[in-house]
Amino acid sequence: MKSAKTLSAAAVVVAASVAVSGCSSSGPTASEPVSLRMTVWTSNEDQLALFDEIADAYIADHPEVESITFDPLDFDSYTTTLTTQLAGGNPPDMAWLLENAAPDFVSSGALVSLDDVLSSTEGYELDDLSESATELWRTADGDLAAYPFSTSPFVVFANDDLLAEAGQPTAAELQAAGDWNWETISDIGSKVSEATGKAGFVIRDFEYTQWDYLSTVWNGWGAAPWSEDGQTCTMDSAEMVDAFTFLHDAAFEKQSMPGPGTTADFFAGDAAFTVTQISRASLLPESGIDAWELLPLPEGPNGEYSVIGQAGVGALAQGDHPEQAAAFIAWFTNPENSAKLATYFPPARESQLTPETLSAANPILTEAQLADVVIPAIADGAVRPSHTGAAEIQQEVRSGLDGLWVEDADIAGTLNGVCDAIGTLLEQ
C-alpha cells in the first residue's frame, strides 16, 4: 500500500494538472481521427468484449474516432495508478472512478461536465437518470461530472446447504419469522462455526483493512464516520461504539465472523452468510452451493437500511480529446447500451430498474429476488462513505482501527483516537 503522504500528493496533482491541461499537449488536428483510452478495473473477458462491441458500433458511425481502448488497471491500486498517470502526463481520455474517489475528482475540476453533451444527444433521456444515483457525481454548481454507470446494492447471500448441515433454519425461514437481524445472524453464525468449523458471516473485501465496507453493518446502528457536512468526525459516537462492539464480539467471543488473519470465501462454501454486492452472483454457478438465497441486509438496532456502492465514468479534462471522450460516454451510457451494461452493472436509469429488465441481465437472480431485494436497495440505499482527501483518511482510519482488532480492545478509546487522527483532515 502506498503511504498516505504519497497518495495525497497524487491527489493534489490531479487538481493542479487540470489548471495547465490546456497547454499539456496539442493532440492531432481536427481533421485527423483520434484514439481514445478508458481506464477500467475489470479484466473480465466477457465484460471487456461487451465494451469492445459497444465501442466498435460507435467507431463504425463516427469516422472522427479511429480506435477506443479499454485499459484494465489493478483494482487495489486503481486510483493511485490513475493519479500517477495524470501526474506523469499520460492521462487517459476517460476513466472509471470509485465512489470514495468521487469527491476529489469532482471537486478538483479534473472532469469535463457532461450535461451539455448528454442533453443534446438524441434519444439519451437524461431525465431518466435517478436523482439519488447522480448526487455524488455532481459539482457544487450542480454539473454532472461523471455518469454513475454502476449503482450496486450490498446484499446478503446465504448458504442454506451449510445452514442445514449445522441444523439451523434457512435464511428464508429466518426472514419469515422476523429474525432477520444482526444479532440472530451472529448467534447462528456462531453455531455454524462450532458445528462445521466454517465461518458464520463474512463482510466480503473487508479483510480488516478496507474499513469502509463495514458501513454495511454500522448503518444498521444509525452510525456514520462523519457528519453530513463532512466536517466533524463521528467515529466516536455511541452508535459507532455499539456497532464496533457487535463486530468485536462476533470476531473474538462468538467467533461467528472470521478474526484477523483468517479468511473465508462464501463462494467456495466456507461461510453461511456473506455481505457483498449483487454482481458476485456470477460466482454462484461454480461455487458448488446447491441451495442459496439472496436477502437484504439484516436489520440493526436502528431498523431496516440499505447500502450501495457506486462507480462513475468521466471524461478527463487533462486528456488529449475531452470533447470526443464526452461524446463517447454519451453513447456508452445511452438507454440501449445501459441495458447491455446492466448485465454486470446495475443502471442509474429509473426506467430500467424493473424486475424484467434486471432479470434479463442477471439470469441467476429471480424476478422476485430482484423486486424484493435489489430494486428497493438501489432506490433507498446510502452510498458507502466518501470524502475529499479519501486516500489519507482511509490510511489514518485503517491504522487507527488496528488497536481494535485485539481480544482486549478498548473500543471507545480506539474510536476516540481515530477521530483525533482525522479531525483536521475532515476540515480541509
pLDDT, tens digit (0-9, with 9 covering 90-100), for 343-396: 888 899 999 988 888 887 778 889 999 999 999 988 888 889 989 888 899 999
* Tally of domains in the chain: 2
| Alpha-carbon distances of 191 from 5, 181, 276, rounded to whole Å | 44, 16, 22
pLDDT, tens digit (0-9, with 9 covering 90-100), for 119-149: 999 999 999 998 888 999 999 999 999 999 9
Q: Which of 140, 234, 232, 241 is nearest to 249 (CA)?
A: 241
* Separation between Cα atoms, residue 392 and residue 395, nearest integer Å: 5
Q: Which of 373, 311, 315 is nearest to 111 (CA)?
A: 315
Q: Do 186 and 230 fall into the same domain?
A: yes
Q: Do 133 and 86 fall into the same domain?
A: yes
Tell me which residue range forms the domain holding 320.
4-145+309-383
User: What residue type is assigned to position 24 of the chain?
Assistant: S
Percent of the chain whose pLDDT exceeds 70: 93
Check: CB of residue 313 under 8 Å from CB of residue 106: no
Q: Which of 13, 412, 2, 4 is nearest to 239 (CA)?
A: 412
Q: Do 292 and 215 fall into the same domain?
A: yes
User: What residue type is assigned to position 297 of the chain?
Assistant: L
Q: Do 40 and 114 fall into the same domain?
A: yes
Q: Do 334 and 299 fall into the same domain?
A: no
Mean pLDDT value across residues 104-125: 95
Percent of the chain whose pLDDT exceeds 90: 77
Mean pLDDT value across residues 10-25: 41
Domain boundary among 347, 366, 383: 383
The C-alpha cell of 265 is what? 470465501
Q: Do 18 and 89 fall into the same domain?
A: yes
Task: Identify the pLDDT of residue 251.
Answer: 97
Q: Do 301 and 327 fall into the same domain?
A: no
Q: Which of 116, 139, 42 is nearest to 326 (CA)?
A: 116
CATH at 203: 3.40.190.10
Q: Do 191 and 210 fall into the same domain?
A: yes
Which residue has cell 436502528?
302
Check: CB of residue 308 under 8 Å from CB of residue 151: yes
* Separation between Cα atoms, residue 200 and residue 197, nearest integer Å: 9
Domain boundary among 383, 400, 419: 383
User: Helical H runs in 234-303?
Assistant: 238-252
Q: Do 262 and 394 fall into the same domain?
A: yes
Residue 11 has pLDDT above 70, yes or no: no
Task: Kindly give, in sequence order, each residue whose CB lies less than 8 Å from that of residue 399, ignoring residues fewer than 6 positions away.
Answer: 421
* Separation between Cα atoms, residue 7 and residue 24, nearest integer Å: 22
